[in-house]
Amino acid sequence: MDTSIRTSFIPKAPLTGKFTPRKSGLGFLTFLSFALLLVSLIGWGAVFAYKSLVNKDVSALEGYLVKAKESFDPSLLKVFENLDRRIKGTETLLGEHTVLSPFFDLLGPLTLKSVRFDSFSLVNNESVIAVKMSGQALDFPSIALQALEFNKDKRIVNTIFSNLDVEDDEGTVSFDVSLNILPEMISYSETIINNKTK
């Protein structure tokens, strides 16, 4: 047995195993990290360039708008605004204006020679125009024929004859009639349009 005591911890013989240093190549995660960093930087650069381009365009358009505002004469703009208000007011007035001549033009040919009307009233509630008239007829069959004439025309609806009464010895019959007509029939603007197309 070896009785000598070693006083050194350093080995006297070389180690036989070979040391192989680790390869310093890029791993998959490192490559992925660099790729994401590169894509992020390119994206940031594109957004920054786009933002700069948009800001430049906005500035150019603001300058153009200021020049355009300066080129307008404020007094001329007020004249145009007043003219616009007047035109809109006129359009509203014409749109709401009514004219009865188209109804009377229709009523004339539809009225039988044996029937006459002596009173007329009209109520305009915008969805339907209510017309009430009273008159006389030579006899009851004339009233029936007049009702048929009114019902033939599509512009006259809900015709009701009422308060039939014999007035004298000759058999003259007085009556009241109520009917509805379409709002377009007495609209001034529709009348103008219809007259232009004729």
Instruction: Count CB atoms within 10 A of the CB of residue 138.
Output: 16
Section 117-132 average pLDDT:
87
Section 155-173 average pLDDT:
87
Query: What are the distances in angstroms from CA 22 to CA 25, 29, 30, 31?
Result: 9, 17, 16, 18
**pLDDT score for 15:** 60
**pLDDT score for 6:** 62
- Burial-class residue 125 by CB neighbours within 10 Å (0-12, 13-18, 19+): exposed
Indicate the SS3 state at residue 11: coil
Q: How far, in Å, CA of 126 to CA of 115, rounded?
A: 29
For the chain, the straight-line distance linking the first and the last C-alpha, in angstroms and rounded, comes to 139
Q: How far, in Å, CA of 119 to CA of 88, rounded?
A: 37
Q: Per-domain residue ranges for the chain?
A: 101-197
Section 65-91 average pLDDT:
86
Residues 143, 161 contacting (CB under 8 angstroms): yes
**pLDDT score for 19:** 61
pLDDT for 144-163, tens place per residue?
999 999 999 888 889 999 99
Section 1-20 average pLDDT:
63
Q: How far, in Å, CA of 128 to CA of 114, rounded?
A: 29
**pLDDT score for 170:** 80
Q: How confident is the model at residue 167 (pLDDT cuts 50, 70, 90)?
A: confident
DSSP E strands in the chain: the ranges are 115-124, 129-137, 156-166, 173-181
Q: Which class in CATH covers the domain with range 101-197? A: alpha beta
